[in-house]
Structure 1
């Protein structure tokens, strides 16, 4: 009964199947934890979404920024962007079932000594704060009146947490933390412009997991979202997005049911280029 955490798939269905074959995944006994971004930019978003949904309790996935973007487009709160590969989902006969399932996925999942998120946690939050804030937005997104939330989703402000934040500013900040953040300033402000690997960033910016003031220090946090970072471990935080979409690898990490072990398959670059 193993648990494997898997980095961003983003519609790379063929690589996902190759990875599951490599780890000898058994849906009757094993569980897959996905870091989010199941869909978009890759060639088989519909197949990936259907597959993970059909796994039922054998799969846990948190929401990533591309998953949220799909929901916003479907709800009329956003438009497709250049490079999006979401048309097949939006035109599918089972579209509504897939989207209703997706919007009920969590922003954060904690079990077996690990917490799973897509992007990161701001330094002002303890793990208890993160859980509370995740649940507050999940309740809105999974409820019947979720459209206004998605209509007010986009934007980089506010960029620093205050407990006094209200309504859509509060919700936007929470979603941005869980699904978009990479770097912070020393004062804890989020930066959404830098996507480069550490060492190449603008002076003064710090990877969120390296901030000395981070209140979530000591927790084991699994995350994705950062393809240029690649597989990375630091102070209990493990980055699992190894850039499959960009010709890198799709990575799984066994976190329970056996020794901690990493598995990877290379991207099918020729198919991706086509």
Structure 2
């Protein structure tokens, strides 16, 4: 099945894809390590802001360059102000390095009209070598039950749920379980569940860096609760568990508690080999508009 799906799109490769180009960072001065220039692409916007998972991948790339280990293990991000397409600077700091793990922090800044820097997002992360991890797995977790790709629904199968930019959807290959898209036709289930198949539209396979995008790329579970509109992330922690196998990913996101105007979202990402490759939890502000 995976081969037939991926044959429908141009096959980009890891390191040579739109995602890689749009998350590229450039060391500002070889004599001053840890400071990178970047350009936030308008292609990854949703409604009015740049997607939080895309931003996480951008900072993740900078940290992978700055730290002695290249694979993200755990990344915790606090989103301080909305990001907009355009130039940005990422400042990294190495906090600790060890034989198997290294820890650092990074902040992304953009520029106000008067030229001053405004911090958009701050990250604390630990990196290592995923290929050096032992192969033993003990788990009670099971991949989400999702209908076949051909039986799931994409953006072209229904009305646009919210106004504003949806540029990011053109860069993603998402097909959602019909049981979790009732909100698109005004009939949310109220369960707070969204699940489906996920890939990049150009066919690039997943890697640890793109998993940072994946955990925040599906429609928010608030839609399934009957709330539509921007659902801004306050904090997002992601765990990368292993390097994903080639092919489409299965993603499941759930919310169990909306209170005080905030909700949590728990995401699991499974690869084509049936392995749990990423997990995340985020706190987000609930939309004000009702569907």
Instruction: Confirm or deny a common fold (TM above 0.5).
Output: no
Q: Which has the higher contact order (CA 8 A, sep 6+)?
A: 1
Q: What TM-score do you get using the length of structure 2 for normalisation?
A: 0.24
Hey, which of these two has a bigger chunk of strand by percent? 2
| Larger CA Rg, structure 1 vs 2 | 2
